[in-house]
Amino acid sequence: MKIPNALWANLIQERLSNVDCIKQGWILEGFPENQEQAWMLQSSGIFPRHVVVLYAPDTVLIERNSGKRLDPVTEEVYHTTFDWPSDELIQQRLVKPEDLSEEETSRKLLEYHRNFPGVFQIYQKILKSINADQPCMDVLSQVLTYVQTRHRSAAPFTPRIVFCGPPGSGKSLQAGLIAQKYHLVNICCGQLLKEAIADKTKLGELVKPYIDNGYPVPDKLVLKVLADRLNAPDCVANGWVLHGFPRDIEQGEELQKSHSPNRVFFFNLPYESIMERLSQRRTDPVTGERYHTTFRPAPTPVIQARLRQNPRDNEENIEKRVEAYYRNAAELEDFYEDAFYVNADQDPHVVFEFIESCIIKPLPCKKVKSL
């Protein structure tokens, strides 16, 4: 039985949110296999910094696979040419895996060649192809050289971008897309606080009681955590896109003093659209697949019957979150008088193209009044 793409994405997102991945980083191998899976990762907020594609002629790959042998006792994998065990006892019990026949390998290669162009399109700005038909140490050396390099931003200046908008307006998705294309640091304020707690920093220890008890973290603490991140070398060199902060004019004024943004976007979405996007979201607890009662209904009555709603998505909680945003939005909009306004009630690709055009073009020059 094939595992649904959405379930894969959910499992990967859950694993990558663990403390060890947040602190040490991660390597994801064998996924995504197609464009839909790549989009699923992006929708889950997973944006790799480097993508390495190892390639070799199909004849070489078929030959490599056909020589693999499995030890059923230890589950160690050996190879008839490259890694044959010296122990005769091990040699006698080795078996050829069932799914590594030449026909099966050819079928998998055909599927890979069919799906790879879609994956390449998603990750072309951060992808490097490396010839795997050479000694493994040479391959490793090239991979290490690539992943240790910093991408040069394609932006015409060092972007310092802020996204503001109500819940459900697509800030996280657009931040991830912009960060990936221009190699910016994607900073979600809420996630940043969780990372500080996971890292067990002094600030993280101060933040932890507020997060654990569901209380708002004081502005002074948030600003200290945020300042530490924005002062890091990658943010200074590559630029950043920030969402989830500022939420009111006081926070905006404090941010302006230390790390003045040079692009601010306000996402506009009608209240009815917010409700429609969020209140109708459902999750299948069995497969992890996400559905929407209007835009992506469950395919069968059985699945429909077992769908569940996240408590954050009930209408009462959505209303509270929307009211909290609009309580301070007008003052924040006045404060950022050069901000751009985004119609978020349209296709995400259209929204992305508009944001990108505003990043590339220069800000309007303010006219100096003559005395």
What's residue 155's pLDDT?
Answer: 54
**Most confident stretch, 20-29, 67-76, 240-249, 349-358:** 240-249
pLDDT at 201 over 60: yes
pLDDT digits (tens, 9 = 90+) for 84-96: 989 989 999 999 8
Domain residue ranges of the chain, discontinuous segments joined by +:
18-147, 160-360
pLDDT digits (tens, 9 = 90+) for 120-146: 888 887 888 999 888 888 899 899 888
**Mean pLDDT over the full length of the chain:** 86
pLDDT digits (tens, 9 = 90+) for 263-280: 999 999 999 999 999 999
What's residue 1's pLDDT?
Answer: 64
Let me know if the fold of 18-147 is the same as that of 160-360.
Answer: yes
- Fold classification of 160-360 (topology level): Rossmann fold (3.40.50)
Q: Which CATH architecture has domain 18-147?
A: 3-Layer(aba) Sandwich (3.40)
Chain position carrying tokens 């190699």: 183
What's residue 310's pLDDT?
Answer: 87
Cβ-based burial of 203 (10 A; exposed 0-12, middle 13-18, buried ≥19): middle
Higher pLDDT, 136 or 371: 136
Give the mean model confidence (pLDDT) for residues 335-345.
92
What's residue 367's pLDDT?
Answer: 46
What's residue 152's pLDDT?
Answer: 54
How far apart CA 160 and CA 169 sit, in angstroms, is 20
pLDDT at 150 over 80: no
Note if the pTM is more than 0.75.
Answer: no
pLDDT at 210 over 70: yes
Which three-class secondary structure string do you get for the chain? Answer: CCCCHHHHHHHHHHHHCCHHHHHHCCCCCCCCCCHHHHHHHHHCCCCCCCEEEEECCHHHHHHHHHCEEECCCCCCEEECCCECCCCHHHHHHCECCHHHCHHHHHHHHHHHHHHHHHHHHHHHHHEEEEECCCCHHHHHHHHHHHHCCCCCCCCCCCCEEEEECCCCCCHHHHHHHHHHHHCCEEEEHHHHHHHHHHCCCHHHHHHHHHHHCCCCCCHHHHHHHHHHHHCCHHHHHHCEEEECCCCCHHHHHHHHHHCCCCEEEEEECCHHHHHHHHHCEEECCCCCCEEECCCECCCCHHHHHHCECCHHHCHHHHHHHHHHHHHHHHHHHHHCCCCEEEECCCCHHHHHHHHHHHHHCCCCCCCCCCC
